[in-house]
Amino acid sequence: MRTRTRLLLWPAAAALALTALAPEPAQAQTNACMEATQGKIAWDYKGTKRWAQGNLDRLCRNASSIEPAKCFRRVMHGGINWGGGTQWQWQNAIDLCEQSTDANRTVACFEGKKAQGWQNAIAQCDERAPPPPPVQQLSACEAAVQDRVAWDYKGNKRWAQGNLDRLCRNATNAEPAACFEKVMHGGINWGGGTQWQWQNAIDLCEQSPNAARTVACFQRNASKGWQQAIAACDERAPQLSACEAALQDRVAWDYKGNTRWAQGNLDRLCGGGDSAEPATCFNRIMHGNISWGSSTQWQWQNAIDLCERSTNAGWTVGCFQSKIHTGWQNAIRLCDERATHADCRGAAQGRIAWDYKNNTRWAQGNLDRLCRNAVDDEPAKCFQKVMHGGINWGGGTQWQWQNAIDLCEQSADGERTVSCFVAALRKAGGWQGAIAACDERAR
């Protein structure tokens, strides 16, 4: 009786509360679910009936009836077993019941599915859940491998989508699949046995338009090493320039016989040109017993520095040998066909130490800062004078190289810039002010 009396009385009280709190009458008409919940149904097992607005919104959003509230009351307080007892986490009860259009149906659905696990049951009975996406049609290649060809030697035929995409991307037929099956399970020897790493099999076969041709190509080239054979038979591989073709898989970039070049180093040496002269130069420098001053074994980076974009390998090597008495860094700089002698970068790189440890190899970013927009070598002259010419910055003659760049970058007249700094230092009373006063970028 007490419960019945309370149910008869609450609409009047709710109406008074809504009149006081919500000035827009239309809002009250949409809150049937909220009205049936707020202050009526405990959201926990401590009897707390005051709901946070966010949770109330979640349960009742878009509800056109009180069914979500009925569902929540039954799930939380009606003895519904979630699989590990009848006391629910309130968040899970909201997850199940929010926007329910039929409380009995939602609860019955959950009880019918909970053997699969409560999370699965909630997901399947959640009326907000969108319909499952349409089954994606597999391409001929994908259909030939998915659930048909094991990607490993344990019989696993269910492919991860990413690997399926790699193997079959842009394929118009099932040839990549046929290639993979032949390589992995057809007794093809990679040079150390017939059991492949599946990643390597994909590398060989992806986008193959003709499985038999790809496998035969690999077998012909296997004596070069499996990596080189895969690279040689990879039908995705772009056409190489004359320079790149003369190097890749032909000339070792080190003294361990590694002939597979990283693309970045290949790009640096060949510079996109069609001539094979940079490759010829590099091969002769690295493997032709050319001494750099202390040995005939070069750092490959230095060999690239000398030979990159060489237009005449014989001239470049001869130039280096004639200049080696000045030091190998200078010889490289003097024979670098990209540099002009009046150029700021050419005057600094390999010639002027940027610190007090005699490091003359500049980071490209710092060289760019010093020489940006320079039409001659004046910024380099300024830097040399400031760093190594005994110019006092106010606390000694040893500079932070960053400050020397700040002063000299884009200088149009090195001597004038240095004289300006010396004069401004006396007036400005500090090196920062003197640099700012003489910085030609600021004018």
For the stretch 387-401, pLDDT in tens is: 999 999 989 999 999
Same domain, 233 and 270: no
Tell me: pLDDT of 5 over 60: no
Tell me: pLDDT of 292 over 70: yes
Instruction: Write out the two tokens for 235.
Output: 């039908």
- pTM for the full predicted model: 0.31
Q: Which of 303, 338, 373 is the last residue of a domain?
A: 338
What is the Cβ-side half-sphere exposure of residue 425, based on CA atoms within 13 angstroms? Answer: 14
Tell me: pLDDT of 61 over 90: no
Q: Which of 148-157, 235-244, 344-353 has the lowest mean pLDDT?
A: 235-244
Same domain, 280 and 304: yes
Which pLDDT score, from 0 to 100, does residue 132 have?
A: 52
Q: How far apart are CA 90 and CA 72, in angstroms?
A: 9
Same domain, 121 and 178: no
Can you tell me the mean pLDDT for 212-235?
Answer: 88
Yes or no: say if 163 and 176 are a contact pair by the CB < 8 Å rule.
Answer: no
Same domain, 157 and 242: no
Q: Which of 12-21, 85-94, 309-318 has the lowest mean pLDDT?
A: 12-21
Question: pLDDT tens across 64-89, in order?
Answer: 899 999 999 999 999 999 999 999 99
Domain total in the chain: 4
Yes or no: say if 110 and 125 are a contact pair by the CB < 8 Å rule.
Answer: yes
Which pLDDT score, from 0 to 100, does residue 66 have?
A: 94
Q: How far apart are CA 253 and CA 282, in angstroms?
A: 9
Q: How far apart are CA 299 and CA 285, in angstroms?
A: 10
Tell me: pLDDT of 174 over 70: yes
- Higher pLDDT: 394 or 8? It is 394
Q: How confident is the model at residue 338 (pLDDT cuts 50, 70, 90)?
A: low
Same domain, 301 and 316: yes
Q: Which of 10-24, 368-382, 421-435 has the lowest mean pLDDT?
A: 10-24
Same domain, 280 and 329: yes
Q: Which of 286-290, 314-318, 438-442 has the lowest mean pLDDT?
A: 438-442
Same domain, 85 and 47: yes
Question: pLDDT tens across 363-383, in order?
Answer: 888 888 898 877 778 899 999
Which residue range forms the structural domain that includes residue 144? 140-237
Residue 195 covered by a domain: yes
Residue 436 covered by a domain: yes
Residue 219 covered by a domain: yes
Residue 259 covered by a domain: yes
Residue 255 covered by a domain: yes
Which pLDDT score, from 0 to 100, does residue 422 have?
A: 92
Query: Cα–Cα–Cα angle for 393, 394, 398, nearest 5°?
Result: 45
Residue 441 covered by a domain: yes
Same domain, 384 and 309: no
**130 burial class (0-12, 13-18, 19+ CB within 10 angstroms)?**
exposed
Residue 10 covered by a domain: no
Q: Which of 407, 428, 339, 332 has the alpha carbon at shortest distance from 377?
A: 339
Q: How far apart are CA 154 and CA 388, in angstroms?
A: 68
Which pLDDT score, from 0 to 100, does residue 135 have?
A: 52
Same domain, 250 and 220: no
Q: How far apart are CA 438 and CA 435, in angstroms?
A: 5
Which pLDDT score, from 0 to 100, does residue 315 have?
A: 87
Tell me: pLDDT of 272 over 70: no
Tell me: pLDDT of 342 over 60: no
Same domain, 162 and 200: yes
Same domain, 167 and 204: yes
Tell me: pLDDT of 16 over 90: no
Which pLDDT score, from 0 to 100, does residue 6 have?
A: 36
Q: Which of 32-46, 119-133, 152-166, 293-307 has the lowest mean pLDDT?
A: 119-133
* Region of 410 on the Ramachandran plot (φ > 0 left; ψ -120 to 50 alpha; else beta): left
Q: How far apart are CA 434 and CA 426, in angstroms?
A: 8
Query: Cα–Cα–Cα angle for 117, 123, 129, nearest 5°?
Result: 170
Q: Which of 197, 213, 237 is the last residue of a domain?
A: 237
Which pLDDT score, from 0 to 100, does residue 372 have?
A: 82
Q: Which of 214, 237, 260 is the last residue of a domain?
A: 237
Would you tell me the crossing angle of helices 118-125 and 90-97 to the nearest 10 degrees? 30
Yes or no: say if 42 and 65 are a contact pair by the CB < 8 Å rule.
Answer: no
Residue 408 covered by a domain: yes
Can you tell me the mean pLDDT for 47-62?
Answer: 90
Which pLDDT score, from 0 to 100, does residue 25 have?
A: 37
The percent of residues in the chain predicted with pLDDT above 90, rounded, is 50
Instruction: Write out the two tokens for 158.
Output: 């269910």
Which pLDDT score, from 0 to 100, does residue 408 have?
A: 94
Give the mean pLDDT of the chain: 84
Which pLDDT score, from 0 to 100, does residue 76 have?
A: 95
Tell me: pLDDT of 105 over 80: yes
Q: How far apart are CA 199 and CA 167, in angstroms?
A: 10
Same domain, 144 and 231: yes
